[in-house]
């Protein structure tokens, strides 16, 4: 029996010992998961210290540790060295962001890619369908991509600063698929990946799916802080790091070259696997004055570089390029085959034809013009944020009143015909006092519709 009585002792969680079954650690983990799912433990709640809970339940300390570890691997809780263990911000709900077409609603949540440029793809689709080797595009050969398609991919990425050879390139079904392939190929359940405190919500969900633990690292206006990354890597075993250097989703921060060099030194020292999601690189080259090179060039053998074409060329074709270190090739190739056998060679051929004909570059220029117009319109309503983040971002990061909850603000916007997403969806770890909205600028059918949505948001926030 415990030495001390806990009847009147304040504890944030008091599980019923009589309900525990064997194996006890698994039963306790299930009880914790259920109480989080049922709302008895709110996001951000601090859990009892493991020794305190062990004393309360009259259990071995190791049993509590194992139960907490199970829930940590599921993304339900997270630990901060020296501070304790907390309920994850999105433990009780899915934060996967996808298209959700609702009549009479202005979509400012899901980020598309100015779909009005897709008209340029129609002629190319017809041209590819008439090619003499079209039947070869419909078979199972070349699971990582046909050789000439990989060559075109390298041509596309060369202006971004990527130089490699076709053997280190794979063509996959979009950037999200590339992330899944990377996690499956190179990481194991229980591994830890460092991320920005606010990061891509679908990556958070993928980490949950693969039972990968995310380690949130705070940053500044230049991105993740190298000193904070070093501190975490020195205290715990970190296996990888996920970054979006060209335009971080959701914060729009672009990592300058000096910060890339600083982060690369820490990554190299601790032998981390870098996942570099560079889906917005096409916006950056030639626009950001201090953009010099992707981080892949600094760490070619430790990096999986992902260059999706859904934002730059056409979202519906779902084609992305992966470039990776030579030592990763076999594992990535096997993971591609295990997940989806191969990407559609026909879709990849359409992208290849667009690149080789020069139409892809025309599409990029049009998207940049549309992005510039959309951002100018946004800043006319919210001028205080004009000098922050990527100037051509497809979305914006708007700070709001810290007392407004995530469900409250999203529901209120929904009532007025607007879909936006609260910053809690993008938290990889502890909650913060600052609150934001991520507002998509590229998803409406016209600038007039975008302006209507921005006007409603401003009125509601005011």
Label the pairing between strands 273-277 and 303-308: parallel
Q: How many CB atoms lie within 10 A of CB 340?
A: 15
Domains, the chain, ordered by start: 17-87 (1.10.10.10), 106-117+361-461 (3.90.1150.10), 121-358 (3.40.640.10)
Helix intervals (H) in 161-225: 175-186, 201-209
| Residue 295, both tokens | 């981080």
CA distance 340 to 353: 23
Question: How would you list the strands of the sheet with 435-440, edge to edge?
Answer: 395-400, 435-440, 421-422
SS3 (DSSP) at 401: coil
CA distance 265 to 102: 47
Cis peptide bond N-terminal to 26, omega within 30: no
pTM given for the model:
0.85
* pLDDT tens, N- to C-terminus, the chain (462 residues): 444 555 666 788 999 989 999 999 999 999 999 888 877 887 778 999 999 999 999 999 999 999 998 888 887 888 877 788 988 877 766 666 666 666 789 999 999 999 888 888 999 999 999 999 999 898 888 999 999 999 999 999 998 889 999 999 999 999 999 999 999 999 998 899 999 999 999 999 999 889 898 999 999 999 999 999 999 999 999 999 999 999 999 999 999 999 999 999 999 999 999 999 998 888 887 676 667 789 999 999 999 999 999 999 998 999 999 999 999 999 999 999 898 878 999 999 999 999 999 999 999 999 999 999 999 999 999 998 767 889 999 999 999 987 766 678 888 999 999 999 999 889 987 767 789 999 999 999 899 999 999 999 999 988
CA distance 156 to 125: 19
Is 214:80 a contact under the CB 8 Å cutoff? no
């Amino acid at each position: 029996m415990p030495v001390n009585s806990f009847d009147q002792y304040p504890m944030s969680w008091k599980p019923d010992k009589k309900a525990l079954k064997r194996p006890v650690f698994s039963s306790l983990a299930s009880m914790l998961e259920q109480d989080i799912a049922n709302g008895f433990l709110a996001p951000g709640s601090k859990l009892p210290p493991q020794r305190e809970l062990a004393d309360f339940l009259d259990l071995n300390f190791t049993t509590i540790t194992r139960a907490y570890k199970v829930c940590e691997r599921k993304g339900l809780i997270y630990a901060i060295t020296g501070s304790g263990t907390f309920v994850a911000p999105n433990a009780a709900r899915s934060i996967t962001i996808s298209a959700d077409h609702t009549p009479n609603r202005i979509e400012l949540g899901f980020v598309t890619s100015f779909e009005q440029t897709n008209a340029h793809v129609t002629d190319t689709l017809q041209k590819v369908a008439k090619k003499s080797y079209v039947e070869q595009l419909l078979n199972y050969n070349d699971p990582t991509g046909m050789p000439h398609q990989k060559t075109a991919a390298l041509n596309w990425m060369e202006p971004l600063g990527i130089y490699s050879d076709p053997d280190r390139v794979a063509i996959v079904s979009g950037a999200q698929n590339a992330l899944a392939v990377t996690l499956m190929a190179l990481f194991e359940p229980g591994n830890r990946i460092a991320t920005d405190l606010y990061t891509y919500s679908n990556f958070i969900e993928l980490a949950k799916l693969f039972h990968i633990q995310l380690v949130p690292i705070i940053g500044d206006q230049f991105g993740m802080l190298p000193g904070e990354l070093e501190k975490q890597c020195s205290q715990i075993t970190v296996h990888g790091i996920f970054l979006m250097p060209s335009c971080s989703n959701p914060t729009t921060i672009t990592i300058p070259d000096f910060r890339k060099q600083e982060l690369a030194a820490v990554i190299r020292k601790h032998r981390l696997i870098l996942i570099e999601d560079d889906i917005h690189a096409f916006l950056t080259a030639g626009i950001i004055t201090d953009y010099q090179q992707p981080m892949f060039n600094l760490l070619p053998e430790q990096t999986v570089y992902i260059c999706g074409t859904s934002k730059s060329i056409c979202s519906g074709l779902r084609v992305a390029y992966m470039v990776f270190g030579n030592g990763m090739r076999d594992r990535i190739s096997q993971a591609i085959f295990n997940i989806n056998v191969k990407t559609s060679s026909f879709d990849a051929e359409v992208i290849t034809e667009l690149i080789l004909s020069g139409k892809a570059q025309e599409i990029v220029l049009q998207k940049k013009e549309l992005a510039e117009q959309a951002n100018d319109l946004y800043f006319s309503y919210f001028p205080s944020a004009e000098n922050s983040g990527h100037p051509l971002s497809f979305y914006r990061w708007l700070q709001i009143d810290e007392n407004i909850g995530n469900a409250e603000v999203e529901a209120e916007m929904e009532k007025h015909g607007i879909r936006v997403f609260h910053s809690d969806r993008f938290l990889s770890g502890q909650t913060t006092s600052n609150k934001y909205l991520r507002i998509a600028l590229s998803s409406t059918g016209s600038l007039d519709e975008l302006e209507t949505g921005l006007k409603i948001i401003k009125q509601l926030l005011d």
